[in-house]
Amino acid sequence: MFGLFKKDTELEKLHKQHKKLMAEAFTLSKSNRSAGDAKYAAAEDVAKKIEGLTKIE
């Protein structure tokens, strides 16, 4: 109840975005390999941002 209006931290947002991009890359890799690779590259960029934030903390 008390966490009802809690906003996600930047790290949580990046984790959600990374998970979404990886799922999209997986589904696209079955039909359109180049689009799947592009999504995977975007997911890797997000993973690098996550790594950078976790090193700071």
Residue 2 has pLDDT above 80, yes or no: no
- The larger pLDDT score, comparing residue 28 to residue 57, is at 28
1 assigned to some structural domain: no
Q: Is residue 40 part of a domain?
A: yes
- Separation in Å, CA 44 to CA 3, 12, 25, 56: 30, 16, 11, 19
Nearest to 14 by CA among 42, 54, 50: 50
User: Does 42 fall in a domain?
Assistant: yes
Tell me whether residue 4 is in a domain: no
Q: Is residue 3 part of a domain?
A: no
Asked if residue 5 belongs to a domain, the reply is: no
Whether residue 41 is contained in a domain is answered as yes
In a domain, 30, yes or no: yes
| pTM, entire model | 0.84
- Number of folded domains that form the chain: 1
Distance CA 41, CA 25 (A): 9
Q: Write out the residue range of the structural domain in which residue 49 sits.
A: 10-56
At residue 57, does pLDDT exceed 70? Answer: no
Q: Are residues 26 and 36 in contact, defined by beta-carbon separation less than 8 angstroms? A: yes
